[in-house]
């Protein structure tokens, strides 16, 4: 659910009326902020903590106390004197000792300057603190975490100035402004820190942000007598001679996402090249007509990665006639039309980037959510609209925004991996909407793991790294990490 700031303030008022205390909620929120820091930065380092007068300041001070206990060097950056702080924030300050860190660039910066009650552009001394946070991020590479919202973010625009966060820990619920199109660059990765004391008033937007805790029930443990036939038969139509890499990435991702039997159908001229480079778990069959695929019984199909436009007629025929659920991506999206989608024999999941979506269903000035919802009113397909804040939906169901990933995933082949993951999940019996949610979350999380564990940079990350990290990402989903 996505409350507005005013609805969130009402939720807090209701919690206090029912006996909850601000101190109790601050302690829980601060602990989860610290745990989020440790998830992304497991090794203790240096943290600078910027805080203002209010309870957001108290939240990050609680986080600072835990980080210090875990071996972090914590340096406090107050905007106001202790006498100007809210009493609860001042009491948290008294529990944290500031560590001298002169000459040491902070690995992490915590933003607890402004909360959801602020309005208008920030003024001094907060404005100067925001500019210092952004300077540490831009000039020194510090990783910035904002408590609840980035300081300076407004409901209709990015304030001047506004913190540019790498991660925002939303306390209780993700606020509606965090997933607004204008907010993406300021918000970064979204983490939700649940507080059971908070309940929302009526009239809340039913859209939501994907969380591992809500998704893991869709991946129960396999029974001990499970066999490959029960894991699903997946057919992948991909990889013309000009783009063999797309087929290699898609099939490898499918195998690493649990599909029991994966068959690649590729144009005959690309078979020798693919046979030499495809992973050994994948079977390869030449593609000459749609009948080559339709004659086999598959639990799911993935169509389009690296097919090129020469195969448009076959792709259209297959996309329309296949009775199995299909993931349509890349050149399949360029080949089909809205009218075709309304006459397909089975369920379809589309995974377009904005350019592919524009060709299929023009945006016409709509924001991303409005764009997705307008498409779903015109088509029975499930839609995963890729982007910095991927959004997923199906007709008459509130959409959900993905929370995982980072800018290092802006490189070729990432979509091919996502297609393979989603198709493998569908082959294992997941509905397209569930597969899209899990696939988006897992691929984004795999990107985060690659940066953290392989010491990759955002510049060096590639699609093959995502495949290598899928196992850990699925484990993290089951473990309910942020």
With helix as H, strand as E and coil as C, how does the chain read? CECCHHHHHHHHHHHHHCCCCHHHHHHHHHHHHHHHHHHHCCCCCEEEEEECCCHHHHHHHHHHHHHHHCCCEEEEEECCCHHHCCHHHHHHHCCCCCCCCCCCCCCEEEEECCCCCCCCCCCCCHHHHHHHHHHHHHHHCCEEEEECCCCCECCCCECCCCCCCCEEEEECCCCHHHHCHHHHHHHCEEEEECCCCCCCCCCCECCEECCHHHHHHHCCCCCCCCCHHHHCEEEEECCCCCCHHHHHHHHHHHHCCCCCEEEEEECHHHHHHHHHHCCCCEEEEECCCHHHHHCCCCCEEEECCCCCCCCHHHHHHHHHHCCCCEEECCHHHHHCCHHHHCCCCCCEEECCCHHHHHHHCCCCCCCHHHHHHHHHHHCCCEEEECCCCCEEEECCEEEEECCCCCHHHCCCCHHHHHHHHHHHHHHCCCCHHHHHHHHHHHHHHHHHHHHHHCCCCCCCCCHHHHHHHHHHHHHHHHHCCC
pLDDT at 206: 95
Cα–Cα distances in angstroms (integers) from residue 18 to residues 8, 194, 292, in the given order: 15, 18, 64
* pLDDT tens, residue by residue, 216-236: 999 999 999 999 999 999 999
Name the band, by pLDDT with cuts 50, 70 and 90, for residue 111. very high
* pLDDT tens, residue by residue, 416-454: 999 999 999 999 999 999 999 999 999 999 999 999 987
State mean pLDDT over 189-195.
97
Cα–Cα distance measured from residue 239 to residue 158, given in angstroms and rounded to the nearest whole number: 42
Structural domains of the chain, ranges and CATH numbers in brackets: 5-206 (3.40.50.10260), 216-479 (3.40.1190.20)
Would you say 403 and 441 are in contact if contact means Cβ atoms under 8 Å apart?
yes
- Residue 105 sits at φ, ψ, to 5 deg, of -75, 130
Residue 456 pLDDT more than 80? no
State mean pLDDT over 201-205.
89
Name the band, by pLDDT with cuts 50, 70 and 90, for residue 315. very high
Residue with tokens 């075709």: 340
State mean pLDDT over 153-175.
96
State mean pLDDT over 123-127.
97
Name the band, by pLDDT with cuts 50, 70 and 90, for residue 105. confident
pLDDT at 438: 98
State mean pLDDT over 375-404.
97
Cα–Cα distance measured from residue 238 to residue 37, given in angstroms and rounded to the nearest whole number: 40
> pTM for the full model?
0.96
Residue 103 pLDDT more than 80? no
Residue 47 pLDDT more than 90? yes
Candidates 122, 126, 144; CA nearest to 135 is 144
* pLDDT tens, residue by residue, 341-381: 999 999 999 999 999 999 999 999 999 999 999 999 999 99
pLDDT at 463: 97
Q: Which residues of 244-283 are buried (b: 16+ CB within 10 A; e: fewer)?
A: bbbbbbbbbbbbbbbbbbbbbbbbeebbeebeeebeeebe
Cα–Cα distance measured from residue 192 to residue 194, given in angstroms and rounded to the nearest whole number: 6
pLDDT higher at 200 or 291: 291
């Amino acid at each position: 659910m996505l409350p507005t700031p005013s609805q969130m303030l009402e939720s807090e008022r209701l919690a206090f009326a029912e006996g909850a205390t601000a101190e109790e909620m601050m302690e829980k929120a601060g602990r989860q902020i610290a745990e989020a820091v440790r998830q992304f930065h497991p090794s203790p380092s240096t943290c600078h903590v910027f805080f203002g007068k209010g309870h957001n300041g108290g939240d990050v001070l609680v986080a600072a106390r835990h980080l210090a206990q875990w071996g972090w060097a914590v340096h406090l950056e107050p905007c106001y004197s202790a006498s100007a702080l809210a009493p609860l924030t001042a009491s948290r300050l008294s529990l944290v000792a500031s560590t001298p860190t002169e000459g040491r660039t902070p690995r992490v910066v915590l933003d607890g300057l402004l909360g959801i009650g602020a309005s208008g552009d920030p003024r001094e001394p907060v404005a100067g603190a925001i500019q210092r946070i952004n300077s540490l991020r831009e000039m020194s590479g510090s990783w910035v975490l904002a408590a609840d919202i980035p300081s300076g973010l407004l409901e209709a625009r990015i304030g001047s100035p506004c913190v540019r966060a790498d991660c925002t820990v939303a306390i209780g619920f993700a606020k509606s402004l965090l997933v607004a199109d204008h907010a993406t660059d300021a918000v970064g990765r979204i983490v939700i820190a649940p507080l059971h004391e908070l309940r929302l008033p009526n009239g809340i937007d039913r859209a939501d942000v994907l969380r591992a805790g809500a998704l893991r029930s869709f991946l129960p443990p396999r029974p001990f007598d499970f066999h490959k036939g029960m894991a699903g038969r997946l057919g992948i139509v991909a990889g013309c001679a000009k783009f063999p890499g797309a087929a290699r990435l898609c099939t490898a991702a499918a195998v690493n996402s649990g599909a029991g039997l994966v068959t690649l159908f590729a144009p005959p001229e690309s078979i020798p090249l693919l046979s030499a480079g495809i992973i050994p778990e994948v079977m390869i069959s030449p593609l000459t007509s749609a009948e080559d695929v339709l004659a086999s019984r598959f639990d799911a199909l993935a169509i389009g990665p690296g097919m090129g436009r020469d195969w448009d007629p076959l792709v259209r025929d297959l996309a329309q006639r296949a009775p199995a659920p299909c993931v349509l991506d890349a050149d399949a999206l360029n080949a089909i039309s809205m009218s075709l989608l309304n006459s397909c024999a089975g369920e379809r999941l589309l995974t377009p980037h904005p350019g592919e979506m524009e060709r299929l269903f023009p945006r016409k000035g709509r924001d991303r959510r409005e764009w997705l919802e307008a498409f779903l009113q015109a088509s029975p397909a499930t839609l995963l609209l890729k982007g910095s804040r991927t959004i997923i939906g199906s007709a008459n169901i509130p959409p959900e925004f993905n929370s995982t990933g980072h800018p290092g995933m802006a490189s070729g082949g990432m979509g091919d991996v996502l297609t393979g993951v989603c198709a493998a999940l569908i082959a294992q019996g997941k509905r397209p909407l569930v597969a899209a949610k899990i696939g988006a979350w897992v691929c984004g999380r795999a990107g985060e793991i690659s940066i953290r564990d392989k010491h990759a940079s955002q510049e060096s990350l590639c699609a093959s790294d995502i495949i290598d990290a899928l196992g850990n990402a699925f484990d993290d989903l089951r473990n309910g990490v942020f």
